[in-house]
Amino acid sequence: MALRTLKFKAGIVKDITEFSSAKNGPFYVDSNLVRFMNGYPEKIGGWEKEIYYGLDASGALDTSAAVKVQGTPKQIVPWRGIDGTDRIAIGTDSHLYILKNSTIFDITPLRKTTSNLTNPLATTDGSTTITCTDNSHGALDGDYVVIESAAAVGGVAANTLNRKSGYEISGVTTNTFTITVPSAATSTVGAGGGTTIDFKYLIGNAANLGIQSATPALGWGAGTWGLGTWGTPRDPDSLPFALEASQWTLNLWGEDLIANVRNGSIYYWDTSGGESSRAVAVSSISGASDVPTATRTTTISFPDRHFIAAGTTPLNGDPQDPMLVRFSDQEDFTNFTPTATNTAGDQRLEIGTKIISMTPTKDETFIQTDEAAYGMSFVGPPFTFSFRLLGVNCGASALHGSAAVDGDVYWIGKNNFFNYNGSVTELSCPVEQFVFDRIQKDYIDKTYAGHNKKFNEVTWFYVSNDNPLGANNPEPDSYVTFNYAEGAWTIGTLDRNVWSDTAGFRKVPFAFDSSGELYNHETGTSDDGAAMSAFIETSDLEITPEGDNLFMVDKVIPDATMTATTNLYVDLKTRKYPLDTETTKGPFTITSTTGKVSTRARGRQMAVKLYSTGTEDDWQLGDFRINARLDGMR
């Protein structure tokens, strides 16, 4: 029998059987850490960890040990200031940071400062728990406090007590709370620490910060009256709503930062104040007028520069309206009071129950509710903006689940993927059922969309049912990628919470994982020095078109571009019938000098898996060929 070329269409297909995938394509059926370029699969670039440092108690740079942000990263935005300094703002579920020159600065707004406390710290010999006394402090479990000007107490050093990263609060009573320090006290002290101690309380639970995961609302009144029997706990899966996890929306106003906690306040950080300053509530800025007190998400319109708050409190201060859009006066993000001489105003959207996300594009602001999509366009006086309904049954499911690409928007819905390029269309996705069957719906709001322009890719990082944490505060562990230039989809596993494409001073995409590690992607060929397990697997291709006979495949002729350090492995998976158990032959090793691989794989249909497991592998596949000979009917 003559050599046969194994040629497959670009992209992964999971939503039909592997046998049907071969008949209708043929297609590839599984992948990990692989992309398509010019119609052919290749291993994606590696990533390297970037080290960054914190400050010591005196405020000086401490390079003795690398640090990580506290909390799970939820949003990032990079920019270069007028002074040429590069910064990244990072919002976690508990903090707000600035990363500058490999140094992390905590700029989380303060809820309250109590100054000049006298001996408020109590220690117990051998314990790492310190009791702090501050009458009517107002803190909640899970909030954070930064202690300043404390002297050593009970053998716990002053530098430990006064660390810039602060401490998480627990054991709350009306007038006391506890913190846990890294080293145990060596003596018991009932009251100590000095007479001029300051407690600085960061905004926390009361400001909708500190909630890592959405919790189903199961209390009194949850669900329909009479649902189930009296005293029976409600099933979370039967309820249509859940409390929402803490999230940030970060916007740049020139070289300054405007940050909004979802369902909380809007804050402003002035770059000129330096990284030693903290963000402050916009409502506290001199001249601020009618600034919303609770807002779901924010953005800035282009090119007219209105600050837009969505899902917000109305002008009269009544309870938050999740479908209300308010916009400030032009070029003044602090003034939301409409007058005859300014352009501030509002508009309530109708379709949906809440606004999920807003994405600025080159022509309009794209607004997504949980059911519909709207376009918000600047038209000037007297209405300032026009609002038009773009589509229904296309709602968004995640605050950061949308990506803007050259005026287009790609987003993840409740059960579909969508694109807006002047009109709303549902993307044809051959892995859609696979992804939405795997995704943990309670945590779909954690899905994060990232853009990689160099490779024409939009990637959604999501929480899967295979998450190692199960349903216990899981963070994204899997991804699905759409190559919008080639129309190809790929899938895999990778734990990334947030992502940013190249950004001027950042020459490669970068991302944080849930632990706060920062990685530079498309860098090298390894997982920060560890092996990358990349693979691509084909559908079950019949060796002859009719599938009548069994064949023996005795030769594989590779076609691949790879480095001299690459080892590419091949498994041949054969079956007699589509539902038979596979028989695997291999692995067979392919290097840059391999001319052919001798095999003995017998079957009526065959799938091929190609993979690498090293730290220096770099490859792109072409059209492999096989040699098969008739092996009879039995």
CATH number at residue 587: 2.60.120
Query: Does 22 reside within a domain?
Result: yes
Task: State mean pLDDT over 385-411.
Answer: 97
Helix (H) or strand (E) holding 438: helix 432-438
Beta-bridged to residue 606, according to DSSP, are 541, 574
**DSSP characters over 337-375:** ---TTS--EEEE--SSSSEEEEEE-SSSEEEEESSEEEE
Instruction: Give residue 496's identity as a one-letter amino acid code.
Output: R
Is residue 172 in a domain? yes
DSSP state of 153: B
C-alpha 553/C-alpha 6 separation (Å) is 13
Q: What is the average pLDDT across 239-247? A: 70
Strand bridging mode 176-180 / 129-133: antiparallel
Specify burial of residue 372 (Cβ count, 10 A radius: 0-12, 13-18, 19+).
Answer: buried
pLDDT score of 632? 62
Mean pLDDT across the chain: 93
The encoded tokens of residue 499 equal: 């992502």
Pairing of strands 541-542, 61-62: unpaired
Q: How many Å apart are CA 78 and CA 60, to the nearest integer?
A: 24
Is the pLDDT higher at 318 or at 272?
A: 272
Coil vs helix vs strand at 325 = strand
Total domain count, the chain: 2
Q: Please say if the pLDDT value at position 546 is more than 90.
A: no
Any domain includes 544: yes
Percent of the chain whose predicted confidence (pLDDT) is above 70:
94
pLDDT band at 463 (very low <50, low <70, confident <90, very high): very high
Q: In this predicted structure, what is the pLDDT of residue 162? A: 97
**Lowest mean pLDDT segment, chosen from 274-288, 452-466, 546-560:** 546-560
Whether residues 542 and 625 fall in one domain: yes
Q: How many CA atoms lie within 13 A of 601 on its CB side?
A: 28
Encoded tokens for 313:
């409190």
Domain end, chosen from 202, 223, 256, is at 202
**Domain's final residue, options 183, 202, 221:** 202
Q: Residue 630 has what pLDDT?
A: 79
pLDDT confidence of residue 504: 73
Both 537 and 626 in one domain: the answer is: yes
Phi, psi of 237, rounded to the nearest 5 degrees = -70, -15
pLDDT at 236 over 80: no
- Residue 606 belongs to domain spanning: 4-46+533-630
Asked whether the predicted pLDDT for residue 309 surpasses 70, the reply is yes
Name the band, by pLDDT with cuts 50, 70 and 90, for residue 217: very low
Whether 11 is in a domain gets the answer yes
Return the higher-pLDDT residue of 541 and 435.
435
On the question of pLDDT at 249 being above 50, the answer is: yes
Length of the chain, please? Answer: 634
d(CA 83, CA 329): 28
* Of 247, 165, 250, 249, nearest in space to 209 by CA: 247
| Predicted pLDDT at 603 | 86
Q: Report the candidate in 445, 441, 436, 420 with the shortest Cα–Cα distance to residue 354.
A: 445
Question: What's the whole-model pTM score?
Answer: 0.93
Bridge partners (DSSP) listed for residue 389 = 374
Phi, psi of 303 (to 5 degrees): -95, 5
| Residue 211: alpha-carbon gap to chain centroid | 15
At 216 the pLDDT is 53
Flag whether pLDDT at 93 surpasses 70: yes
Whether 25 is covered by a domain: the verdict is yes
Separation CA 39–CA 621 (nearest Å): 10
Q: 17 pLDDT band (50/70/90 cuts)?
A: confident
294 close to 264: Cβ distance less than 8 angstroms: yes
492-534 tens-digit pLDDT: 999 999 999 997 788 999 999 999 999 999 999 999 999 999 9
- CB atoms closer than 10 angstroms to residue 485: 12
In this structure, what is the dihedral angle of CA atoms 19, 23, 25, 26, given to the nearest 10 degrees?
A: 60
Quote the pLDDT of residue 241.
Answer: 44
Q: Give mean pLDDT, residues 377-391.
A: 95
Position of tokens 């209300």? 324
Side-chain half-sphere exposure of 405, counting CA atoms within 13 A:
24
- Name which of 179, 95, 99, 107 is nearest 137 in CA terms: 179
pLDDT value of residue 544: 67
Please report where in the chains the tokens 């322009």 appear, as a residue: 453
State both tokens at 297.
């998400």
Strand order in the sheet with 478-483: 448-452, 457-462, 478-483, 488-493
Say whether pLDDT at 221 is over 50: no
Please state, in angstroms and as integers, the Cα–Cα distance from residue 185 to each residue in 164, 181, 193, 455, following that order.
20, 9, 13, 54
The candidate with the shortest Cα–Cα distance to 430, out of 1, 151, 21, is 21
> Does the pLDDT value for residue 233 go beyond 60?
no
pLDDT per residue as tens digits for the range 173-216: 999 999 999 999 999 999 999 999 999 999 999 999 999 997 65
* C-alpha distance from residue 580 to each of 25, 71, 629 (Å): 21, 48, 21
Closest Cα partner for 272 from 287, 286, 254? Answer: 254
**Residue whose pair of structure tokens reads 């038209």 in the numeric block:** 379
φ/ψ of 584, rounded to 5, equals -105, 130
**Which residue in 262, 327, 254 sits closest to 291, CA to CA?**
327
Q: What percent of the chain is modeled with pLDDT above 90?
A: 83
Confidence of residue 442 (pLDDT cuts 50, 70, 90): very high
pLDDT at residue number 219: 46
Question: What is the spatial distance between Cα 441 and Cα 435, in angstroms, rounded to a whole number?
Answer: 11
Query: Can you tell me whether residue 19 is helix, strand or coil?
Result: helix
For the sheet containing 560-562, what is the strand order? 34-37, 40-43, 619-621, 560-562
At residue 218, the pLDDT reads: 46
Query: What gap in Å lies between CA 491 and CA 500, rounded to an integer?
Result: 19
Q: What is the DSSP letter of 295?
A: E
Residue 248 lies in a domain: no
* Tokens 């990580």 belong to residue: 68
Average pLDDT of the residues in 366-387? 96
pLDDT for 556 beyond 80: yes
Does an H or E element contain 437, and which? helix 432-438
In this predicted model, what pLDDT tens digit does every residue of 4-14 receive, in sequence order? 888 999 999 99
* pLDDT confidence band for 551 (50 / 70 / 90): confident
Last residue of a domain, one of 202, 224, 242: 202
Distance CA(208)–CA(259), nearest Å, equals: 13
What is the reported pLDDT for 103? 97
Please tell me the predicted confidence (pLDDT) of residue 584. Answer: 93
Range in 238-252, 489-503, 551-565, 574-588 the model is least confident about: 238-252
Closest residue by Cα to residue 77 from 246, 275, 250, 248 = 250
* Domain containing residue 116: CATH number: 2.40.30.20
Cα 628 → chain centroid: 47
pLDDT at 235: 46
Residue 591 lies in a domain: yes
Averaged pLDDT for residues 289-306: 96
Q: Confirm whether 56 is domain-assigned.
A: no
CB 577 within 8 A of CB 606: no
